[in-house]
Homo-oligomer: A and B are copies of this chain.
Amino acid sequence: MKFFPVLLILVIACAEAPEHKVEQHAALIPSKKIVLDGLNHPWSIAFMSTAEALISEKDGNLLLVNLNSKEKTIIKGFPEDLTDSIRAIHFGDNSGIFEVLTSPNFKSDSLVYFSYAAKKKGAGTTTKVARAKLNNDSLTKHETLLIAEPYTKEYYHYGGGMTFGKDGKLYITIGERLFWERDEPPLPIAQDVADKRGKIYRINPDGSIPEDNPNFGVGSIPGIYALGIRAAQGITVQPGSGKIWFSEHGTIQGDEINILEAGANYGWPNVTSGKLRSSDYTPPQLDDVSFIPPVWFWPHTVAPTGLTFYTGNDFPHWKNNLFVPGLSRGSLWRFRIDDTTIKSAEELFIDDRVRIRKARQSPDGKLYILTDEDNGKLIQIIPQ
């Protein structure tokens, strides 16, 4: 009789071992869980808690959403000069509401930062950055922080990506707004420090200019931190290093990931990892200029957008990996990175590709993506 308990334990151990192994395996494989739908081309999400967030809709509104109750409330008081595919003449253009961020001191100052395509009668549209106090479901006490003049008739490449740096400054991407390179002035827009477009900005949260910004010389636009930008949207902070990474759309190929450096020139349109759209266009010779190469570029079009680093615990082998969503082929990319070296690149959900505008992590370390659809969705990436 004394051998029975030992035998019983062995039987249990043998029966449980394979099951446990399968479970462990599945826990490392990602799948999608739709948390919210019915969003109108959502662009960005700012978490106020694990359950409450602000979602900007490109072709719609700024929303307050509850991930548990699924309730959506339209935030009142969004600036009336907003233009998007519904309000504008053109459909399918790049206008709309872009980034939304809560202040790093949101609990005390209730400030919300947002970027959008603003229109001016007779002049056209441009990218505007503003902040306002969120008072229940209304924005009040608006302050404009940046207007990327000139207003033009082009409906492309507004940029509008924003992030707060580790240094508390606000970093903003502004696109060069052109579709064809043949429309460039003699000194290309993104290379001209007297032109507001095609730049990355670094400003204080109140819109003033930090004294330690790089100096681009007499006549340069205050706040410029880097130049040579074509159409950057995603911008995010790397955990640990505090380095700022941003994504950029190319024309024919040329989609890139870059690391932001003070005073750097990212080369558009003089250098690109892709091809120019205007085959007859030759960029001018620029003297004494050095261009920063991307840390990554794709050999095909991905249209990379709102990237984020992941620091959650659901997927331990993804810790500190960079997630880059795309609007074109390859809708979610994962990059394993050692400091600034890309070690591996994985295209996820190959059999379930969808236009993705943004990847973002919630305060409790969950990974979310926003799909760019008429019936846009907030999707959580969960273990299988």
Contacts and interface: CB of A to CB of B under 8 A. Distances in A.
A25 interface: yes
A350 B342 contact: yes
Nearest to A30: B344
Given A28-B317, A316-B28, A317-B29, A351 B346 contact: no
A76 interface: no
Contacts of A21: 316
A319 B350 contact: no
Interface in A292-339: 299-300, 316-317, 319, 334, 336
A329 to B, nearest CB: 8
Number of copies: 2
Nearest to A341: B351
A248 B317 CA distance: 31
Interface in A330-363: 334, 336, 341-351
Contacts of A344: 346-350
A104 B341 CA distance: 43
Contact of A28 (B28, B29, B345): B28
Interface of A: 21, 24-25, 28-29, 299-300, 316-317, 319, 334, 336, 341-351
| 5 residue pairs, one from A and one from B, having the closest CB atoms | A346-B346, A28-B317, A299-B300, A25-B316, A344-B348
